[in-house]
Amino acid sequence: VSFSFISRTPLNFCSNDAYEHMQYVEILSKEHRLPKPYEQFVTYHPPLYYLISSFISFPLTVNENLHIKSVKLISSFFGAIALFIIFWFLNSFYKETYINFLVTMFIATTPKFFFIFNSYSNDSLTTLSCISIIALSYKISQQWSKKLAILLFISAIIGVYTKYNTLWCIAIVFIFCLKNLFLKFTLPGKNEIRICCILIFAVISFLPWAYFHNYKYTNKLFPFRKIDEPYIIQTVDIPEHIKTIRSIFNSSFFNLEKFKNPFVHPMGGPYTKKNDYLSYSFITSIIGEYQISRPHIYFVLIVIWVHLYMYLISLKEILKSPINKVSFIFILLSHLVQVMNVARLRV
């Protein structure tokens, strides 16, 4: 399916900034140097994904079309690894292999998952890294393993050298490891301390790049896109935000005429669902943040309703095992971040 999708779609299909990512690789391939953080639109990102795209894929300087397809195939390979980790993780807790396989395939056929792992974007390697960090951290917290500890360290390094978003994933794992300190005022267990140390060393390994590259050119350890910087920290207008938060529950999710509006990423046009929590949340997590002209809106609605049904069914399973509770907390945290984004409360 991935091969057919990649061979029949253009570079920017279901990807808002694919050309900008290719600019990064173009500098590496043609000028044989690392770009400065603000030299192009996305060159503020760490370099790992682009180094892989430059040296492992078909050379950009030889054939651009084959290069694009080969980079997308690499992203598809990352997706296959992510699915393997998910299946391995499920088999560690649930013995019904057939059910675990169905769950894995359900995830694989979610459009957003499919688009991420068939795109020319560092999101593919970032998502793989975060999945690995979460799965390995939980396994190590249950039973110490040197092999898993080494894999966790490698996964964390890959993540921080791919995209800064990985730091949020690491921060959430920290919160889970130190939960007893906050809730019961007791020290975390030995395995939790080990996980924290591994992740700290991984973040420390990023500091040479942050200082000698980022700080050298921008005086910032973690530079953002210049167009985003005015929105990183904003003056909070409380009445306005209360009004905005209230409006997110006035959903067009059940209004087909309103729901037919195209789903547009902010870089490609205005937010059509920005103040509509249900629609915006489902679009970003299931369909993607891109303008949808095909398939038909009814197909999109069917996909969303299937996922909504699965979410409702899963609610009754929350308290049946520790891993279900942890998963539910992760989901709540993701929705909290989504609400913050919808309400424009960025920190």
**DSSP letters along 291-317, please?**
---SS-HHHHHHHHHHHHHHHHHHGGG
* Span of 142-156, 159-173, 190-204 with lowest mean pLDDT: 159-173
Q: Is the peptide bond before 230 cis (omega within 30 degrees of 0)?
A: no
Phi, psi of 18 (to 5 degrees): -60, -40
Q: 123-142 and 322-342 helices cross at what angle (nearest 10)? A: 140
* pLDDT at residue 271 greater than cutoff 70: no
Q: What is the pLDDT of residue 49?
A: 94
Rg (CA), the chain: 21
With cut-offs at 50, 70 and 90, classify the pLDDT of residue 276.
low
- Tokens 């795109």 locate to 119
Average pLDDT over residues 117-121: 89
Token pair recorded at residue 167: 């730091």
Q: Which two structure tokens, joined as six digits, stand for 322? A: 């520790």
Per-residue pLDDT band at 279 (split at 50, 70, 90): low
Q: Is the pLDDT score of 81 beyond 60?
A: yes
Q: Cα torsion for 20, 165, 117, 135, to the nearest 10°?
A: 170
Q: Residue 310: CB partners within 8 Å, gap ≥ 6?
A: 106
- Provide the H-helix boundaries in the chain: 2-8, 18-26, 48-55, 64-93, 97-108, 111-116, 123-142, 146-160, 166-177, 179-183, 190-204, 207-209, 216-218, 229-232, 238-247, 256-259, 277-282, 297-314, 322-342
When pLDDT is averaged across residues 280-296 and rounded to a whole number, the result is 61
Question: What are the DSSP calls for 5-17, one per residue?
Answer: HHHHS-TTTT-SS
Q: What is the 8-class DSSP label of residue 257?
A: H
Please check the confidence at residue 293 and state whether its pLDDT lies above 70: no
Q: Model confidence over 133-163: pLDDT tens digits? A: 999 998 999 899 999 999 999 999 999 999 9
Neighbours of 57 (CB within 10 A): 20
The string of pLDDT tens digits covering residues 87-100 is 999 888 888 888 89
**CA proximity to 32, closest of 57, 54, 13, 7:** 54
Residue 61 is inside which H or E element, if any? none
Q: How far apart are CA 157 and CA 203, in angstroms?
A: 7
For residues 162 and 49, the answer to whether their CB atoms sit within 8 Å is yes
Assess contact for 90 and 82: CB atoms under 8 A. Answer: no
8 A C-beta contact, residue 114 and residue 101: no
The 10s digit of each residue's pLDDT in 29-78 is: 888 899 998 888 889 999 999 999 888 877 777 788 888 888 999 999 99
Of residues 108, 63, 114, the one with CA closest to residue 85: 108
CB neighbourhood size of 140 (10 A)? 21
202 in Cβ contact with 136 (< 8 Å): no
